[in-house]
Amino acid sequence: MRVARINAGREVTRIVDPNGRFVIIGAGPAGIAAAITAVREGLPAERITIIEKGARHDDSRVSGFGGAGANSDGKLVLESEIGGELAEHVADMPGLLEEVLELYLGFLGPEESARYEQMRGRFRDAQASEQIQRACIRAGLEYVPADIIPLGTATCRRIVDRWYDFLSERGVQVLLGTRVTAFDAADDGGWLLHCEGGEELCARWLLAAPGRSGHQFLVGALEGLGLDSVHGPIDIGVRVETDARVTEALTEATWEFKLRGLIEGERIRTFCVCPQGSVLVERYGPDLLAVNGQTRLESPTGRTNFAVLHTINLDDPCDCPNEYAQLYIRTASILGARNPIVQTWPKFERRRRSRAGDLGYAFIRPTLERALPGDIRLALNAKSCRVIEAFMRALDSDGLLEGLCSNRTLLYAPEAKLYTVRPARLSEHLESERAELFFAGDGSGLTRGLVQASASGIVAGREVARRATR
Ligand SMILES: Cc1cc2nc3c(=O)[nH]c(=O)nc-3n(C[C@H](O)[C@H](O)[C@H](O)COP(=O)(O)OP(=O)(O)OC[C@H]3O[C@@H](n4cnc5c(N)ncnc54)[C@H](O)[C@@H]3O)c2cc1C
């Protein structure tokens, strides 16, 4: 039901549903999983709305239908302990991982689905893991084995398109290009959402799943409701691009080698490995550009890229760790004139900025052509640079990434993961202290990847459907 009313001198359209609506903020993997689960569990589709600030296909790479997930590399990491802390909140994490797998593979044809299904365990071979672990022991590092199914960007996008068809064919309302600016408790119970264009929506159940790009929105929402929040650590560093032959032994065995170090007491790790991939730009705002990576299995590049991330826990008295990470992103963007910067390993090591000439002499060319040569040390703090340098040398060890610290390797900046604030207390159904207000995905602070973000959406969507249909 639509009601027109006057608010502060202008007409506002308020969407009210007498039966009670389930409204989801954010059409990323978490929000979509919640909607699909709610439909499958019997909540009538026409009582569900998803509000998404981006377009159906959005060039920001972090917004639009599918969220950051639609443009992701599509690596499904089927481990309870990797990609988030959801296992600390919910029961039966192994069962949830199976459901997530079905949510992705179930939207492919039977043959393709079976092909991916057969990959289970392929990258978690015990003998290979043992060998890598031994090489890590010699290098002073730690290897974390993980069961991974690499879908690749194109397949991931196809699945997201089929999710869209599933929801729209059944009558779920998907409001694209609509930014939620705030929400508060409605006078008559439930929640009232305010959208940028002046629309208001009444929700009986509200799920906030705005992902990492919704950080500012989430900070405001939690403050507005007076909910206690906690900050997670931040991850800042560089994206490394090298000859695929340098990483071949590890990517063949593991696809995504997850290696960790503790250097000067600081935690550092490899993350988001893209074998045969390319480096790309992700856009969090007009002047907030970061680098990331993707693998298009159908067009191998002969390079591998991966993030090297320094985890920093900025606790008391710092109350805005994300701003610290954003400062790094902004500084690097200033140096690159609103472009990412790239530096050859030899120049980084020698504390000299890279110039166009160095890139010409490097043994590989950057896959991200718009990255401009520069000096990462002018943007990234000295401690992170030191720790990254020592970690890179440890990676360049017998049985690991021999040949990494060479003129065959490029470093890109800024690479950062903006984890967001999260409500201090969430129930096993991911409901906050305020009744009927749920949080899921990277915006809940509990997840950092596709599988756990989707799993959290399943948990919240199922609970809402249970309450709505009882
Ligand atoms: C390039 C790239 C590659 C990646 N590769 C992988 C990978 O291979 N494997 C893996 O596990 N993870 C990967 N990730 C991470 C993964 O994509 C995220 O963890 C996942 O998408 C989180 O899902 P989400 O639903 O919580 O948030 P998101 O996917 O971020 O979606 C949130 C949505 O909410 C919308 N939104 C935010 N605020 C508002 C608002 N106020 N009003 C309306 N809408 C709003 C956003 O526009 C966005 O579409 C990758 C990420 C990127 C960027």
- Give rounded-to-5 percent helix, strand, coil for the chain: 35, 25, 40
pLDDT of residue 2: 54
277 lines ligand 1 (CB under 6 A): no
What's the whole-number average pLDDT of the chain? Answer: 92
120-149 average pLDDT score: 96
Measured in whole angstroms, the distance separating CA 54 from the mean position of its chain's CA atoms is 16
348-361 average pLDDT score: 94
For a pocket test of ligand 1, which of 24, 37, 50, 53 has the largest count of ligand atoms closer than 8 A to its C-beta?
53
Instruction: Describe the crossing of helices 93-105 and 450-469 by its angle, rounded to 10 degrees.
Output: 100
Cα(168) to ligand 1 centroid in Å equals 20
Q: Which residues contact 346 (CB under 8 A, 6 or more apart)?
A: 358, 406, 407
Q: Which residues contact 361 (CB under 8 A, 6 or more apart)?
A: 344, 407
Q: Determine which residue's CA is closest to atom 41 belonging to ligand 1.
A: 180
Q: Tens of pLDDT along 403-414?
A: 999 999 999 999
120-124 average pLDDT score: 93
Question: Can you tell me which atom of ligand 1 is nearest the CA of 292?
Answer: 1
For a pocket test of ligand 1, which of 272, 281, 415, 459 has the largest count of ligand atoms closer than 8 A to its C-beta?
272
pLDDT at 4 over 50: no
Cα(209) to ligand 1 centroid in Å equals 9
Neighbours of 67 (CB within 10 A): 33
Q: How confident is the model at residue 451 (pLDDT cuts 50, 70, 90)?
A: very high
Geometric angle at alpha carbon 43, from 39 and 48, rounded to 5°: 75
Question: Can you tell me which atom of ligand 1 is nearest the CA of 448?
Answer: 19
Q: Determine which residue's CA is closest to atom 4 belonging to ligand 1.
A: 72
pLDDT at 433 over 50: yes
Cα(443) to ligand 1 centroid in Å equals 9
Domains with residue ranges and CATH for the chain: 2-123+148-230+421-469 (3.50.50.60), 234-417 (no CATH)
Q: How confident is the model at residue 18 (pLDDT cuts 50, 70, 90)?
A: low
Q: Tens of pLDDT along 263-321?
A: 999 999 999 999 999 999 988 777 789 999 999 888 999 999 999 999 999 888 888 88
Cα(132) to ligand 1 centroid in Å equals 31
For a pocket test of ligand 1, which of 60, 81, 153, 450 has the largest count of ligand atoms closer than 8 A to its C-beta?
450
62 lines ligand 1 (CB under 6 A): yes
Q: Determine which residue's CA is closest to atom 38 belonging to ligand 1.
A: 214
The strand pairing partners of 14, in sequence order, are: 3, 200
79 lines ligand 1 (CB under 6 A): no
For a pocket test of ligand 1, which of 73, 329, 452 has the largest count of ligand atoms closer than 8 A to its C-beta?
73
Q: Which residues contact 311 (CB under 8 A, 6 or more apart)?
A: 233, 234, 235, 266, 267, 268, 269
Tokens of 192: 């009232």
pLDDT of residue 403: 98
Cα(445) to ligand 1 centroid in Å equals 12
Q: Determine which residue's CA is closest to atom 21 belonging to ligand 1.
A: 69
For a pocket test of ligand 1, which of 58, 61, 63, 193 has the largest count of ligand atoms closer than 8 A to its C-beta?
63
Q: How confident is the model at residue 70 (pLDDT cuts 50, 70, 90)?
A: confident
DSSP string, 47-63: GEEEE-SS-SS-TTSSS
Q: How confident is the model at residue 58 (pLDDT cuts 50, 70, 90)?
A: confident
CA-closest candidate to residue 446, choices 465, 470, 419: 419
pLDDT of residue 6: 46
261 lines ligand 1 (CB under 6 A): no
For a pocket test of ligand 1, which of 180, 219, 280, 442 has the largest count of ligand atoms closer than 8 A to its C-beta?
442
The region of weakest confidence among 6-20, 127-141, 155-169 is: 6-20
CA-closest candidate to residue 445, choices 423, 461, 470, 467: 423
> H-helix or E-strand containing 401?
none
Q: Which residues contact 320 (CB under 8 A, 6 or more apart)?
A: 231
Cα(247) to ligand 1 centroid in Å equals 27
Q: Determine which residue's CA is closest to atom 46 belonging to ligand 1.
A: 63
Cα(345) to ligand 1 centroid in Å equals 30
pLDDT at 7 over 70: no
pLDDT at 16 over 70: no
157 lines ligand 1 (CB under 6 A): no
Percent with pLDDT over 90 in the chain = 77
Give the separation between CA 35 and CA 458, rounded to whole angstroms.
8
145 lines ligand 1 (CB under 6 A): no
58 lines ligand 1 (CB under 6 A): no
274 lines ligand 1 (CB under 6 A): no
pLDDT of residue 417: 86
Over the Cα atoms of the chain, what is R_g? 22
